[in-house]
Amino acid sequence: MIYNSKIKWDKAYDVIIIGFGGAGASAARFAADKNAKVLLIDSAPEEHIGGNTRYAGGAFAWGDNFEKLKDYYVQTYYPFKYDPEGLNPFVRNVLQMKDYSKKYFGIDAVATGRRPNGEYPEYRNGDAMQSQSLTQGMYNGGFWKLLRSKVFERLNLIDVWYKTDVLNLIQDAESKTVLGIKVKRQNQVRYIAAKNGVVLSCGGYENNQDMIQTYLGEGSLAPIGTLYNKGRGIDLASEVGARLWHMSNYDSHGLSLRNNDLREKYAYMINWPSLFNGSIFVAGDDGTRYFREDEEDRHGYKYNHGNWIMIPSQNHPHIILDQTQFDQLNNDQSKNAKDIKDLLSYAIEAQSLEELSKKIDAPMLKQAVSDYNFLTDQVKRDMFLNRDLKTMRSFDDGPYYAIPVRHNILHTHGGAKRNAKCEVIDLEGNVIPDLYEAGELGDIFATKYIGANSIADLLISGKIAGENAAEPKRKIFEFETINSDAKELESDAKISELDFAVGKNQGLGISTNGISDQPIVVRVTLNNNKKIKGIETLSHNETASLGGKAIPLLTREIIEKQSTDVDAISGASVTSRAFVDAVKSACKKANA
């Protein structure tokens, strides 16, 4: 949208950040640390912000040798070309990630131990990249809450708007400078100026089926992360003339249950070792096998005649198994036993392969089972897909079962091309002034995504974009505002220590590391001897059945022991740690 004199700015900020996921949280944090007044926007309601970071494991990439690490990355790009101006700075920053963790979070990162020889151990220097973690456990939201807490510690400089749609970027006609945005908020269209910069951190297009068909050529992929990544950043970048790159690159975790839900169950089903062990295989649309079932998933990439490619997805694949396998899985005792039993509950049963073939519309299923049995009984080798024969057993005479599954999508990598400063590049290779980009939207990965690198990238690109966007720019004109005090333009992020009163010998403590997105806020009162007299929980939204019961128990125990050195309540360990952290903070302030 081109600026014209009829546009009246409702409010002005130094920096506007579009997308409150991990990259947006990082950009906001570092822009605020440059003393910029920041607006952080997300289309999702508060309970769904966080983008894909909310669902991520939280591990980040790290290495200690530039040449070896770069060599490993370059090999993963094959046969795609890579941009040295993008890759080289990224690799240098990855080498600093443990120092980054200590400096900006006060945490000594620890090795996760995952894939010690690399996701592609066949490549030179496959072990040059190792994954590190800032938080305990994985896939529990802990990493996202850590990033979010850094935003909430800076609410004096960061306004947050939830459920706000960005309609357009507003651009100066002559200089092409991005001046601000047009938004729809609380059913009102508003114009918000950005004095120094706008950061696009909107994520990818995993939940935009039109874009998936256009850019990926796929018909049915189930998102396993956020449902709010709909490609808005690509539209916004395109309207101001940005060059797009890496649009065909995405990654996956193989198969999920196909139950016709937007976010299907079991994103990691293909990695359960005890599942594909016996008379069982995955059938494509026609009933035949199309990939090696026991191969470790590499974010969706499968071995293919000397290279690894994103496996072509089928429209209605099924897991096929016989009665012997069904009974074996029903009695499974592995760590995935509960999920496997749940998966079996979705099985379609038939007395014969002919009957099952008709039920699932897989005309070559009977031939596929015959071929499978031939490999196990006669050839003694899976000569086509190279599955380990030890994991294969001939199918018996039935009954037979089919479990409907669906290819999934973790995140896309396409977006506007960016340079090492995270500035957005136009079609002629020039910088679009005052427009920046961070996170998975337009990241540097062209193919073969390696786990833990999106977390590293959002930390790196978020910091770079936030700091550069905060730098004061040459003013084209002064931004005059007309509605700065309108109620609907107030920040939605309200919970802070300023919202609660404190008296003598009292201190407030806040923790954003509980189960809920709403912080736990406590007020501690000390007696004249500096002993804990009382603990009040002023705000929390933890689960009533677990966290809600844990808080009163911990309150009583801390007061009785006069110490925060207490054990977590069983079943509510996350809430327990967050509550104790809040009490520690409150005690420290009350003692000050």
Please say if the pLDDT value at position 498 is more than 60.
no
* Integer Cα distance of 159 and 28 in angstroms: 10
For 45-60, the pLDDT digits (tens) are 988 999 999 989 899 9
* Architecture of domain 497-591 in this structure: Alpha-Beta Complex (3.90)
* Integer Cα distance of 571 and 451 in angstroms: 29
Q: If you ran DSSP here, which 8-state letter would residue 484 be given?
A: T
Say which residue the tokens 């938004």 belong to: 183
End-to-end CA distance of the chain: 52
* Integer Cα distance of 180 and 196 in angstroms: 9
Give Cα separations from 51 to 56, 117, 503 (angstroms).
9, 29, 39
**Per CATH, is 11-50+144-248+411-485 categorized as 3.50.50.60?**
yes
Give Cα separations from 114 to 111, 341, 449 (angstroms).
8, 27, 16
Average pLDDT over residues 164-170: 97
For 222-277, the pLDDT digits (tens) are 999 999 999 999 999 999 999 999 999 999 998 999 998 888 888 777 778 899 99
pLDDT confidence of residue 319: 97
What burial class does residue 578 get, using C-beta atoms within 10 Å of its C-beta: 0-12 exposed, 13-18 middle, 19+ buried? buried
% of the chain residues with pLDDT over 90: 76
Tokens of 60: 């980040």
Please say if the pLDDT value at position 517 is more than 80.
no
Please say if the pLDDT value at position 126 is more than 80.
yes
Average pLDDT over residues 274-290: 97
pLDDT confidence of residue 512: 79
* Integer Cα distance of 29 and 146 in angstroms: 12
Average pLDDT over residues 322-340: 95
* Integer Cα distance of 220 and 401 in angstroms: 23
Averaged pLDDT of the chain: 92
pLDDT confidence of residue 495: 61
Contact yes or no for 469/196 (Cβ under 8 A) = yes
- Strands 431-437 and 423-425, how do they pair? antiparallel
Contact yes or no for 488/511 (Cβ under 8 A) = no
Average pLDDT over residues 489-499: 73
pLDDT confidence of residue 476: 65
pLDDT confidence of residue 497: 55
Average pLDDT over residues 213-221: 91
Contact yes or no for 17/233 (Cβ under 8 A) = no
Give Cα separations from 209 to 116, 218, 227, 258, 485 (angstroms).
36, 9, 12, 16, 39
Tokens of 236: 């916004």
Residue 356 binned pLDDT confidence (cut-offs 50, 70, 90): very high
At CB < 8 A and 24+ separation, what contacts does 212-219 make? 212/409, 215/247, 215/248, 215/412, 215/414, 216/248, 216/250, 216/412, 217/248, 218/313, 218/407, 219/313, 219/315
| Angle (CA) 168 174 175, round 5° | 80
Give Cα separations from 516 to 140, 266, 426, 578 (angstroms).
11, 23, 40, 11
Residue 477 binned pLDDT confidence (cut-offs 50, 70, 90): low
Task: Pick the closest to residue 350 from 362, 334, 335 (CA basis).
Answer: 362
Give Cα separations from 211 to 52, 220, 221, 299 (angstroms).
18, 12, 11, 20
DSSP 95-122: HTHHHHHHHHH----EE--SSTT-SSTT
Average pLDDT over residues 37-46: 96
Please say if the pLDDT value at position 419 is more than 70.
yes
Q: Which of 132-141, 208-217, 315-324 is predicted with the least confidence, judged by mean pLDDT?
A: 132-141
Which conformational region is residue 576 in: left (phi greater than 0), alpha (psi within -120 to 50 degrees), or beta?
alpha
Please say if the pLDDT value at position 457 is more than 70.
yes
pLDDT confidence of residue 272: 86
Residue-range domain boundaries for the chain: 11-50+144-248+411-485, 255-408, 497-591
User: Over the range 323-345, which residues count as b (16 or more CB within 10 Å of their CB) and which as e?
Assistant: bbbbebbeebeeebeebbeebbe
Domain boundaries 255-408, corresponding CATH code: 3.90.700.10
Task: Pick the closest to residue 456 from 30, 141, 44, 58 (CA basis).
Answer: 58
Helix (DSSP H) and strand (DSSP E) numbers for the chain: 14, 26
For 539-553, the pLDDT digits (tens) are 887 777 777 788 999
Contact yes or no for 272/332 (Cβ under 8 A) = no
pLDDT confidence of residue 169: 98
* Integer Cα distance of 489 and 168 in angstroms: 18
**Dihedral Cα 461, 466, 468, 474, nearest 10 deg:** 150
pLDDT confidence of residue 219: 86
Q: Which of 415-424, 447-456, 573-582 is predicted with the least confidence, judged by mean pLDDT?
A: 573-582
Contact yes or no for 315/394 (Cβ under 8 A) = no
Tokens of 428: 């002629």
Residue 573 binned pLDDT confidence (cut-offs 50, 70, 90): confident
Contact yes or no for 41/228 (Cβ under 8 A) = no
